[in-house]
Structure 1
Amino acid sequence: MGAGHPLTLKWLGIDTYQEAVIYLHRDCEVCRSEGFEAQARVRVEAAGGQIVATLNVVDSDILAPCEAGLSVVAWRQLRVADGDTVRVSAEPPLDSLVALRGKIYGRRLDAAAMRAIVDDIAAGRYANIYLAAFVAACAGGRLDVDETVALTRAMVDAGQRLDWGRAPIADKHCVGGLPGNRTTPIVVAIATAAGLTMPKTSSRAITSPAGTADTMETMAPVELDLPAIRRVVEREGGCVVWGGAVGLSPADDMLIRVERPLGLDSEGQLVASVLSKKVAAGATHALIDIPVGPTAKVRSPQAAALLMTLLEHVAATLGLSTRIVLSDGAQPVGRGVGPALEARDVLAVLRREAGAPADLAERALMLSGALLEFCGAAAEGTGIATARGLLDSGRAWRKFLAIADAQGGFREPPRAAHVRVVDAPCAGRVGAIDNRLVSRIAKLAGAPRDAAAGLELFVKVGDRVDAGAPLYALHAESPGELDYAFDYVAAHPETVVVLPA
């Protein structure tokens, strides 16, 4: 190890989510000699490597002056054990913060400034407060087209990049905002059954109750390294894995950790996030689904047109072929909202069960058909029929099982310990289902942290219901979470609106 003050590590078991934090006693030699104060950024070196961490100062006897504690994520990053020695030293000031401050005051970021910021983010040099400042400074349409291109390119260059040595390499993405819209595992199964190569790297939830990686993880392992991903794809033609485990766009993974609690997913950063992951994964053809609806992420045809134009322009600049699909985002898709509940819907469609949600099946077939035609695996106008044949014959289900087995083994999704049903207040017709409220309730019930938690819908817009008929059910792992979510339900009857007969 290099220079710095040696300290003995003590396990504290403090979870700070994904922020690396080091804990030092106020009388520690490091704090006294360096003049460190709480929230200072310091370099921490161990035999297994080095990280940049945020300093928290301790006044109690939980730590001796000669000891140091680390947050759980920092402990894992350094691969240390209780009693190991670490060295702590000052971290030099970040020049890229000058550019960030300029952006906060309305100045544009040129390509060099954007690259400097992204490189520092990817290297873990930005504390959460800096990450939050960058996200906020770029939100609300504050990134122009050139800045979005620069951000996307910098994100790609900051991480690893896959090259499959052939084309087409297919990918598919939904911009989100539509609960239960878990078509990706079905599309991957159909596309690879048709002979396409589709190495799908997916995100965990940002502002939603479940991401594709969260849902897939209830059925098979998703935290594969790059050699494992290559083995799966060479063996089965595709995969569905968590992109954050392989560092394909590490700066994006850092930004996601603050976008989630802030509830922000701005247009420019959305485009950069989506496209950087596609390019880094080696995709040549990406199908992008934009659901449009009054309570979806994209709420109007005008907003959808602007997003589509930006996606197509940035993708073309980076050499990625795209096909955009504008879809109905008026209400949730399928029945389940939450990782395991959505996985059960996916399995019902792939297994061709009699009660499988028809809207999820038809949406997945529409997207699969478009992808097959886009990548030349089906003639124009025949994609949906080809996809339906692969689903109905069982070939897609067998391919999904093979992919899950190659990733580490298939398993059935878990079920929640506690369920409570919400009934219709009167007889009538379902007039509206609010996507945002459905997502909010599912998260309050524990999703995606608790894989089995979430919300299960029993109705669709237009359905007729009797008084007291079940509208939806809350699923939770503890009675307290169930009660907490139900209190929110009671205060928001507009979640599912029943128009009296």
Structure 2
Amino acid sequence: MSEPHNRLRLVRAGIDTYQQPVVYMHRDCHVCRSEGFTALTRVLARSGDREVIATLNVVVDDHLALNVAALSEAAWQVLKPDPDAWATFSHAEPPASAAALRAKVFGQRLDDTDFLALMQDAVANRLSDIELTAFVTACAGDRLDNDETIALTKAMLAVGERIEWGGGPVLDKHCVGGLPGNRTTPIVVAIIAAAGHRIPKTSSRAITSPAGTADAMEVMAPVALDIDAMRRVVEREGGCIVWGGNVRLSPADDLLIRIEHPLDFDSDGQLVASVLSKKAAAGSTHALIDIPVGPTAKVRSAAAAASLEARLLVTAQALGLHLTVMRTDGAQPVGYGIGPALEARDVLSVLRNEAEAPRDLRNRALDIAGALLDAVPGAEPGKGRAQAHMLLDSGAALAKFLAICEAQGGFTEPKPAPHLRPVLANRTGRIERIDNRRLARIAKLAGAPGSAAAGIDCRVRIGNSVRSGEPLFQIHAQTPGELEYAFGYATAHPDVFEIGAAG
């Protein structure tokens, strides 16, 4: 029996294409020629009992042998080939959801079946990044109505895993983002778990920000737990703070986020589907959504917040999820630190009830924890914040947080950065405005979140008076080069802090 003509030996390319499987072939290899493959062709690769649909990248020089196909890390992890394995390659069939995608691009409404087909094709990698981009673009702005938002949310939920916790309330919280340093989650989880309730929190790493909750938490304890390990932690301590990317509760959402962030746009419908699909998948029964509102936050006006809140509530009702929405001040950062270790330091400072702990972070965490405790069935309305206050002041929340850290793999004290430099005010006056986005950019240029200790420490707030030459904030960096890079940007953009006349 002759060998298939469309067969190539597999090697590992050693190239990270994030979640997009890619295969590399030489343009003159017999498979490319006989199958008519060209760059960006969608190909089906089969090796043993596994298969993957990948995007073809064509090699034009001698870096790849003619009888070899190289797999990106994403493709390699799907196929998991044995040493010296071979694979057969053929054209991938058009995705079943192609008609639905085309209909949405041309402005038509989609139903439950359409969205389910699209999400099934997305997680099976039958949609290319170009097709996913078309879908995200077609849904952006106001192009998803409430019924479509609900259908998309249910479809994203249907194609992922779902955790069941048995009877009783399961609490959760989420912030829609855009506010540097707003690291309330570890404090809230500690308070809620100390109160005897379950709060299995999955959190994200930073994509465009200086730190995600998972980045800050990882400074203090392991977060890359799988579902079984996550369940053990929650059963032992009542709560957890783990990286959502490892439990894969809403894999379709992860794929769409990968497309949305480089485009730098989404819609209320996509945001709601993203957040609530993950809450429902995590088994939550009662959740709170924090919407910071401010001129440089993600949600910039009261009208935008009201529209988002209405869509969140109607979608949550359709899922059977009890939802509380809080609108909070998004005009300036929360806490002192911006960056994983600096934010972790602030969290511990609040939990330890230190005199110098940031009051704004403490109060936000108490507000959120109190609202969640009020939402528990049978709770006496309006008593939650006092209960949260007591659990924090007594040290019960700190003890619970350290116990959660130990259950997740052990607690580590955050370490400071070796290189520091202050950025000084260029005039005397009163702080009237803070640009959250540019402040976050400075922290990223300093190395956050890749360097966990990097970021900025900012103690001034809107309304504070400063004198020329006084520090506005301090840059923390792992290397002198990163320190100078961030400092250069900060001095070139003094309008990060708008300083008016002295009051």
TM over 0.5: yes
Give the partner amino acid of 2:467.
D
Aligned pair 1:233/2:221, yes or no? Answer: no
How big is the shift at 1:348?
Answer: 1.2
2:96–2:121 contact (8 Å) kept in structure 1: no
Match of 1:457 in 2: 458
How big is the shift at 1:378?
Answer: 4.9
Misfit runs of 4+, over 4 Å: none
Q: Higher mean Cα deviation, 241-250 or 361-370?
A: 241-250
Give the partner amino acid of 2:299.
V
Match of 1:371 in 2: 372
Match of 1:127 in 2: 128
Matched residues in 1 for 2:344 and 2:113: separation?
42
Give the partner amino acid of 1:283.
S
Aligned pair 1:189/2:190, yes or no? Answer: yes
Matched residues in 2 for 1:17 and 1:237: separation?
33
Match of 1:281 in 2: 282
For residues 72-100 of structure 1, the C-alpha deviation after alignment (integer angstroms, 9 at most, x for no partner) is: 23223333466433332221111323322
Secondary structure of the 2:17 match is coil
Match of 2:200 in 1: 199
Alignment of 1:108-147 (within 5 A): 108-147=109-148
Match of 2:434 in 1: 433
Match of 1:342 in 2: 343
* CA shift in 2, pair 1:380/1:111, >3 Å: same
2:7–2:87 contact (8 Å) kept in structure 1: yes
How big is the shift at 1:187?
Answer: 0.3
Secondary structure of the 1:218 match is helix
Q: Higher mean Cα deviation, 200-209 or 17-26?
A: 200-209
For residues 349-389 of structure 1, the C-alpha deviation after alignment (integer angstroms, 9 at most, x for no partner) is: 11222221111011101111111111148522221111111
1:25–1:64 contact (8 Å) kept in structure 2: yes
Match of 1:79 in 2: 80
Relative to the length of structure 1, the TM-score reads: 0.95
Q: Higher mean Cα deviation, 332-341 or 482-491?
A: 482-491
Match of 1:214 in 2: 215
2:431–2:498 contact (8 Å) kept in structure 1: yes
Percentage of pairs with the same residue: 59
Which ranges in structure 1 are unaligned for 5 or more consecutive residues?
Answer: none
How big is the shift at 1:216?
Answer: 1.4
Give the partner amino acid of 1:474.
I
Aligned pair 1:475/2:473, yes or no? Answer: no
Aligned pair 1:498/2:499, yes or no? Answer: yes
Match of 1:303 in 2: 304
Give the partner amino acid of 2:154.
R
- Size of the aligned set, in residue pairs, is 500
Matched residues in 1 for 2:408 and 2:490: separation?
38
* CA shift in 2, pair 1:266/1:115, >3 Å: same
Secondary structure of the 2:317 match is helix
For residues 42-84 of structure 1, the C-alpha deviation after alignment (integer angstroms, 9 at most, x for no partner) is: 1223347322211101112211011121222322333346643
Match of 1:381 in 2: 382
How big is the shift at 1:269?
Answer: 0.7
Match of 1:323 in 2: 324
Matched residues in 2 for 1:98 and 1:388: separation?
54
How big is the shift at 1:414?
Answer: 4.1
Relative to the length of structure 2, the TM-score reads: 0.95
Matched residues in 2 for 1:6 and 1:453: separation?
48
Aligned pair 1:15/2:21, yes or no? Answer: no
Matched residues in 1 for 2:378 and 2:421: separation?
45
Match of 1:250 in 2: 251
Match of 2:95 in 1: 94
Matched residues in 1 for 2:297 and 2:5: separation?
51
Secondary structure of the 2:147 match is helix
* CA shift in 2, pair 1:441/1:139, >3 Å: farther
Give the partner amino acid of 1:341.
L
Give the partner amino acid of 2:39.
A
How big is the shift at 1:305?
Answer: 1.0
1:209–1:337 contact (8 Å) kept in structure 2: yes
Q: Higher mean Cα deviation, 383-392 or 190-199?
A: 383-392
Match of 1:45 in 2: 46
For residues 309-335 of structure 1, the C-alpha deviation after alignment (integer angstroms, 9 at most, x for no partner) is: 100000001100011111111111001
Give the partner amino acid of 1:435.
N
For residues 87-138 of structure 1, the C-alpha deviation after alignment (integer angstroms, 9 at most, x for no partner) is: 3222111132332232222222222111111111122222222222222221
Q: Higher mean Cα deviation, 263-272 or 311-320?
A: 263-272
* CA shift in 2, pair 1:171/1:11, >3 Å: same
For residues 19-38 of structure 1, the C-alpha deviation after alignment (integer angstroms, 9 at most, x for no partner) is: 22111111222211111111
Match of 1:151 in 2: 152
Which ranges in structure 2 are unaligned for 5 or more consecutive residues?
Answer: none
Matched residues in 1 for 2:487 and 2:82: separation?
42
Give the partner amino acid of 2:319.
L
Give the partner amino acid of 2:158.
D
Matched residues in 1 for 2:78 and 2:479: separation?
31
1:207–1:259 contact (8 Å) kept in structure 2: no
